[in-house]
């Protein structure tokens, strides 16, 4: 909820006879001023702190996304392969973090409860995502599809080269040699 100069807490007040909502600035009296509930309405609870942190990151990501010149994906197969590269790199980066913490994968949290380290949780999620993306690629047989697309494109290019050679009156051995050179070059690219 936004009132006046910025977002407000917006929590329903205890006054049952009215449908009033808190008008204090969002996050007032907390470590997340400008986002979430104020300290009088649970803004300092662990759940609200996590939600506020999530909201702040989401707002930052939306701001960055608004600055990007986002274009539609013309080639989803190649985009999925690029995503797979990013996911595997992220998984490798989180593995480095887990290796740095050594045997201390757990710690004692609030009220003595044993907690799993955030690095381990990130690594587990990264492994799950890598598995999902790589399984999709394997299931969709993307490498073969990309190869088929590349071959079809190469055939169209060679057809265009053949048409140009015919138009220029180049036939016989010269035309065959030109096609061979073009095909060799296309395979190397």
Domain map (residue ranges) of the chain: 2-67, 76-135, 144-188
| pLDDT value of residue 92 | 94
- Inter-residue contact 36 to 51 (CB < 8 Å): yes
* pTM of model > 0.85: no
Q: Report yes or no: 40 and 26 within 8 Å, Cβ to Cβ.
A: no
Cβ-proximal residues to 74 (8 Å cutoff; 6+ apart), any chain: none
pLDDT lower than 50: segments of the chain: none
pLDDT of residue 111: 60
Kind of pairing between the strands at 114-116 and 106-108: antiparallel
Cβ atoms of 69 and 95 closer than 8 Å: no
Measured distance between the N- and C-terminal CA atoms of the chain, rounded to whole angstroms: 55
Residues 6+ apart with CB under 8 A from 170: 178
Q: How far apart are CA 128 and CA 119, in angstroms?
A: 14
Q: What is the pLDDT of residue 160?
A: 87
Q: Which pLDDT score is estimated for 90?
A: 94
Residue 55's pLDDT is 87
């Amino acid at each position: 909820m936004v009132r006046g100069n910025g977002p407000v807490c917006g929590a329903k007040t205890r006054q049952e006879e009215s449908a009033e909502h808190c008008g204090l600035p969002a996050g007032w009296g907390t470590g997340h001023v400008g986002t979430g509930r104020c300290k009088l309405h649970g803004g300092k609870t662990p759940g609200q702190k996590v939600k506020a942190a999530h909201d702040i990151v989401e707002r930052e990501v939306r701001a960055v996304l608004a600055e990007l010149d986002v274009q539609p994906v013309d080639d989803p197969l190649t985009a999925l392969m690029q995503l797979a590269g990013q996911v595997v790199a992220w998984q490798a980066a989180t593995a480095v973090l887990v290796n740095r913490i050594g045997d201390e994968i757990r710690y004692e949290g609030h009220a003595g409860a044993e907690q799993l380290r955030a690095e381990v949780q990130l690594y587990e999620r990264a492994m799950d995502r890598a598995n999902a993306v790589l399984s999709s690629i394997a299931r969709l047989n993307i490498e073969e599809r990309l190869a088929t697309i590349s071959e079809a494109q190469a055939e169209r290019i060679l057809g265009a080269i053949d048409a140009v050679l015919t138009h220029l009156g180049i036939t016989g051995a010269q035309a065959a040699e030109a096609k061979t050179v073009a095909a060799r070059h296309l395979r190397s690219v």
